Structure formats: C-alpha cells, structure tokens
Structure 1
Amino acid sequence: MTDTLTIPPGFERCVWVFAINLPESEAEAFARGPLADAMGVNAVDPAHTELLDADAFTEYGLSRYLAEGQGIAEESLAADAATLDALRGPLLLVFRAALGQGSLSPRPPLQLIGRYDEVPSPARIGMAPYNPEADILPVQTAKRPSDAAMSGRVATVVLILLAIFVALFIWGAG
C-alpha cells in the first residue's frame, strides 16, 4: 500500500502516474471498473483518466509524451524521466480533474510512479488584471439627428415636391 497522497485543492492541473500490475487484457476492465476503490476515493471521473501501454512509448519516451502531449512541466518530470521512460506494461494517468477533494490511498494492483505538475501559466507582466465587465459592450442607443441634418432632409423633400409641381404645370400647359 502506498502512503496517503493529498489531492491539491482547487483547479491546479497535475497528473498521477500509476503502473497497473495486471496483464494488459485485465487492465482495461480494471480501469473502467473498481478503479475508485483501488485509489481509495469515492469516485473517479473516467473522462480525466488515460490508460496507456508504456511499451508504445519506447522510442518517443513517456516523459516526452507527458511534457509535450499533456503540458506537464519538464522540471517536474526531470528527476523521474529515466524511470518513466523505462516503464513497461499498462499505465494509468489520473489527472486532478478526475478527483474530488481529500486524499488518495492507492492499493494494489496500482503502484504509484509519481505526481507531476503542469507548466505554470506565464506571469502577466505589465498587463492590467483581467476585468470581465470590461468585455461587455455597451448597448447602442439611437442617436438623434442634428438640426442641420433635419434641415437638409426637409429641403430635399420640398425640392422634390416643387419639381413634381413644375412637371405637372408643364404637362398641363402643353
């Protein structure tokens, strides 16, 4: 049995890597079945877990996959990179989002390899803090036309009526 592992509060993104000490044919059924019980938690969201065959990463490297494919910080992986790349057989990646609050108490057939953290977001140097209210566009209200614009419209209507009146006189005279 592994020591109790604290689940970080909040939405910090990290991953626990577990070896599953079962034949590959049984590992998939285990990952879909009694996983929560073996991890010592009430529930595990399977949408945030990944069952892998470590043998598929012999040339690429599991540590490289975690860094490039999952966004895990290389600094977090550095101490265990050789161990991760040497793993064989079924592995289970359990991301923070798969778990609630509290702690993990993994039991066989799970064997903890390690916990690795996501690359931290870069600092926003020189930028104002984000204000979601600033993203709301103001409601556009209809703007009242100026007096000059109204005078121009009235003059246009008068000229059109005058042109019609002159055309009627010319037609009537002819």
Structure 2
Amino acid sequence: MTTAPIAPDPLQIRAGEHGTLRVFDVDLPDALATKLASLPFERESALGVPLADAARTEMFDVASLGDLGLGRYLHEGLGIAEEQIAENSKALGNIAGYVLLLRAGAVAGPAQLAPIEGLRLAALLHEERAQLSFEKIYSSSTEGILTPAAAADASGTVAQWGENLRLLRRWLGLLVICGLAVTALIWSLT
C-alpha cells in the first residue's frame, strides 16, 4: 500500500490534499457536542478554519455504531487500510464518546487547523488506493484490420450526408425567397 506524503504537522492541510482522514476525539460538554453533531457548519468554528465542504465531515457518538465499532466503520465505510487502523488502535480505541471525522476536501488547503479545547487529533489516516494494472485486454472483437473498402464505404456515407444537407439548404433558401415574394405581393395589393 502506498500512502501520500504528509505534512510534518498533522494539523497542517496541504493544497490539493486527497485521501486523508483526520480522526478527532471529542471531549466537549454534551450540549455542545450534540450541537456540533447536528449542525455541520458549526464545526467550522470548532476546527478554527472555514469549511469548503461541510458534507465531508462527520460527527457522531461512537456508541451509535453498535457492534460495528469505529475501526470496522473506518475500514468498511471509508476505505482505511486495516494495517493503519491496527497501528492506531490504542488512540482509536480510547474514543468513547463523540468522534469527528474530517476527510480531505472538507477544508481547502493550505490551512492550519486550530481545534478548540476538547477536540484532540487521535489519528491521521489515509484511504487505501487500488493498485493500477496496465495489462492489455484482449478480445476477439479488437482483432482484424479495417480494409480500405470498408473505410471508403464509411467515408462515402459521410459524403452522401454532406451532399444531402447542401441540397436541403438550397431548397429551404428557395422556399424562403418564394415566401417573401408572395408576402410582398399580398402586401402591395392591400
């Protein structure tokens, strides 16, 4: 698995950052935590930076995940490698109340997060990236050679359409001129 290079400070968001997930342990009074969980735009003030896309943040009570648990949610729901979750298991396992997830794109970088007291960065994780394969795909439908006769037939069809369009324009032009002449004749008679 390849991870993107990260800034030395995990609270520093780089310009064009993608594939990152910052996990914050939330230790705030219940009323404030509930407000931040229900109003995504309020998270801006809690993080100390303007949000470019509040939909790329999540805040919820970890207990609401039930048997799924935070680690499995991060792996199955957000594509975080199990190895990263294992490496950060102590910090992630200590989150008992609310958690704030900040995905790449939520904040337009470069920016420096300045979370309020009660928000603690527990982990900086990276989404798994699929391994790219550039193998040739073979199919019987891709075999064969386009013969000059077939190419000429295809271009002849295009040429025929062009000729038909020219004739249609001429007839329409003639029809418009006749219509104008009839209109002028009627106008002069009245």
TM-score, scaled relative to structure 1: 0.63
1:66-85 deviation digits (Å, cap 9, x = unpaired): 00011112222221124323
Question: How many residues were matched structurally?
Answer: 132
Q: Does 1:16 align with 2:22?
A: yes
Residue type matched to 2:25 in 1? Answer: A
**CA distance 1:127–1:44, shift in 2 (3 Å):** same
Superposition RMSD in Å? 2.8
Q: Aligned-pair distance for 1:115? A: 1.0
**CA distance 1:141–1:10, shift in 2 (3 Å):** farther
Structure 1 runs not aligned, ≥5 long: 129-139, 145-174
Q: Does 1:49 align with 2:62?
A: no
What percent of counterpart residues are identical?
32
Residue 107 of structure 1 aligns with which residue? 116
**CA distance 1:55–1:76, shift in 2 (3 Å):** same
Match of 2:123, SS? strand
Q: Does 1:117 align with 2:126?
A: yes
Give, in whole Å, the separation in 1 of the partners of 2:117 and 2:86: 26
Task: Verify the 8 A CA contact 1:28 1:51 in the aligned structure 2.
Answer: no
1:32-77 deviation digits (Å, cap 9, x = unpaired): 4542233221335221111111123353221111000111122222
Structure 2 runs not aligned, ≥5 long: 1-8, 138-155, 161-190
1:138-170 deviation digits (Å, cap 9, x = unpaired): xx95465xxxxxxxxxxxxxxxxxxxxxxxxxx
Give, in whole Å, the separation in 1 of the partners of 2:10 and 2:79: 25
Give, in whole Å, the separation in 1 of the partners of 2:107 and 2:25: 18
Residue type matched to 2:116 in 1? Answer: R
Match of 2:88, SS? helix
Higher helix share: 2
Give, in whole Å, the separation in 2 of the partners of 1:44 and 1:26: 22
**CA distance 1:25–1:5, shift in 2 (3 Å):** same
1:104-134 deviation digits (Å, cap 9, x = unpaired): 2223121111111000131223359xxxxxx
Residue type matched to 2:118 in 1? Answer: P
Residue type matched to 2:22 in 1? Answer: W
Give, in whole Å, the separation in 1 of the partners of 2:67 and 2:24: 20
TM-score, scaled relative to structure 2: 0.58
Match of 1:26 among 1, 10, 32: 32
Give, in whole Å, the separation in 2 of the partners of 1:4 and 1:79: 16
